[in-house]
Amino acid sequence: MNLALFDLDNTLLACDSDYEWGQFLVDRGVLDRHAYEAQNAAYYEQYKAGTLDIHEFLGFALRPLAEHTPEDLDRWHADFMATRIRPSISAAARSLVRRHLAAGDLCAVVTATNSFVTGPIAREFGVPHLVATEPERHAGRFTGGVAGIPCFREGKITRVEDWLAAQGRRLQDFPQSTFYSDSHNDLALLERVTRPVAVDPDPKLAAVARARGWPAVSLRFP
């Protein structure tokens, strides 16, 4: 059995689900446009630049989950999937995941975006495992805090290793381990697998991939 790990935002998706979720809530009138939109865009630029303070960002991004009921959040997310996410999934992305599943690989989506946003997206792809930043819950409601280590940068390695350890496995146990990502923020995990693949990479990752001879692919729409 081989291991196949998939980043989600701008890799399997032709968008960033964390950013799009915030914009979706703004467009629905759930969040104030003036107060939220500019800050959401600023954090996204910091992420792309590699300067994002993940704890500061999560304090911002998880707050809306704490301010609304699970029923409202689930209803909004169903609309979010229909209007923002499914149109951002290419046939090539679906085909890539299907090939790994058909080969019998152990597959997981590994993403910094929180599991409330990304759980339904992983299920849309048929991927049975999700390693994501976990929003804290208490008495059935989100608190706005983070449970455990954010699944970001080096934290992705820790979270993947913990997930595998819970199954009695280690990363080095697999004959081949593949990680697909678009972002230089994922270099730590890309360097740990036996087969790193750059997917529609940002300029920094593209330069590293060229220098190291890593394969590069595109999953975007024609």
Are the C-beta atoms of residues 110 and 129 closer than 8 Å to each other?
no
Are the C-beta atoms of residues 39 and 18 closer than 8 Å to each other?
no
Tokens of 133: 């930043």
Residue-wise pLDDT tens digits, 28-58:
999 999 888 888 889 989 998 989 899 999 9
Catalytic residue among 9, 105, 182, 186: 9
Q: What domains does the chain contain, in order, with CATH numbers?
A: 3-217 (3.40.50.1000)
Please tell me the predicted confidence (pLDDT) of residue 221: 77
Catalytic residue among 7, 18, 105, 182: 7
**Is 74 noted as a catalytic residue in this protein?**
no
The 8-class DSSP code of residue 8 comes to I
Query: pTM for the whole thing?
Result: 0.95
Output the DSSP codes for 186-215: GHHHHTTSSEEEEES--HHHHHHHHHHT--
Helices and strands (DSSP H and E) totals, the chain: 10, 7
Are the C-beta atoms of residues 5 and 174 closer than 8 Å to each other?
no
**In terms of pLDDT, which residue wins out, 122 or 41?**
122
Neighbours of 110 (CB within 10 A): 25
